[in-house]
Amino acid sequence: MKLYTSYLSNAAYRVRIALDLKNLPYEPEYVLLSKDTGEDQSPEYLGINPLGMVPTLIDGHRVYRQSLSILEYLEDVYPVPSILPGSSRDRERIRSLSLVIATDIEPLTNFRIQAYMNDKLSLNDEQCAQWNRHWIHKGLQALEKLMEDNPATSSFCHGDLPTMADICLVSQVHGYEQQGWDLNQYPTVARIYQQCMNLSAFSSTAPQYQPDAQVQT
């Protein structure tokens, strides 16, 4: 397999964790994303991914382009170890927690949103920072509410092994922890984040250890 990845993309981080958890070897290709758009609009890369976004996964002759559907695909084809274990109800909860991150936080706070706010709306840095804090807090608070009193949440978001929900949680919370956010207001989220980061699949694949981060920062 080949993975088009970038240290700047939370979505690419999700796929790196999943591939590592499933012990699947892959060849990384580092995509140079514009810090303004979060995209690579070069003709070469658009030939591989017409949306210019990462991650892109190549498995055999097929191309896969959205992080959550890539995780589902990996689970379908390489089911052991599972990142969507249990019954239909278990899987629903795991997917539902994943989607709080993937639909309610990430799309509102990524590079392309920041760029639009600066360039098209002429918002100042404090207004952009307030926007980010608002949606990140709302999302993490939601995640905390859905986990804090739920007996199905244990060492990890759902049960005692890492799942797709932990992958999504770490891919998003990692950046906030690096920026010095106070995560203590979300104690369950913070505890699970630390638990995950004790595992090499989560820590060794982190953005700051990627070769493209070393070159560019």
Type of residue numbered 121: L
Q: Verify binding: residue 69, a second copy, rule CB under 8 A.
A: yes
Nearest approach, Cβ of 154 to a second copy (angstroms)?
Answer: 18
Which of 32, 77, 152, 215 contacts a second copy by CB under 8 A? 77
Q: Verify binding: residue 177, a second copy, rule CB under 8 A.
A: no
Residue 31 near residue 39, CB atoms below 8 Å: no
Task: Return the range that interacts with a second copy (CB under 8 A); candidates 1-9, 24-32, 88-96, 186-194.
Answer: 88-96
77, exposed or middle or buried, with CB in 10 Å at 0-12, 13-18, 19+?
exposed
Which of 3, 15, 21, 70 contacts a second copy by CB under 8 A? 70
Type of residue numbered 70: I
Residue 212 near residue 6, CB atoms below 8 Å: yes
Which of 92, 125, 155, 178 contacts a second copy by CB under 8 A? 92
Which of 1, 108, 197, 213 contacts a second copy by CB under 8 A? 108
Residues in contact with a second copy, shown as a per-residue x/- string from 35 to 54 under the rule CB under 8 A? ---------------xx---
| Residues 216, 15: Cα–Cα separation, whole Å | 21
The sign of the CA dihedral 200, 204, 91, 1 is: negative
Q: Report the run of H or E that residue 4 belongs to, with start and end.
A: strand 2-5
Q: What is the DSSP string of 92-130?
A: HHHHHHHHHHHHHTHHHHSHHHHHHHHHTS---HHHHHH
Counting Cα atoms < 13 Å in the Cβ hemisphere of 56 gives: 20
If the CB atoms of residues 112 and 197 are measured against a second copy, the closer one turns out to be 112
Which of 100, 140, 168, 189 contacts a second copy by CB under 8 A? 100
Nearest approach, Cβ of 70 to a second copy (angstroms)?
Answer: 7
Q: Verify binding: residue 102, a second copy, rule CB under 8 A.
A: yes
Task: Return the range that interacts with a second copy (CB under 8 A); candidates 12-20, 21-29, 85-93, 172-180.
Answer: 85-93
Cα–chain center distance at 206: 10
Q: Site residues (CB under 8 A) for a second copy?
A: 50-51, 62, 64-66, 68-70, 72-73, 76-77, 88-89, 91-93, 95-96, 98-100, 102-104, 106-108, 113, 116, 120-121, 123, 127, 130-131, 134, 142, 145-146
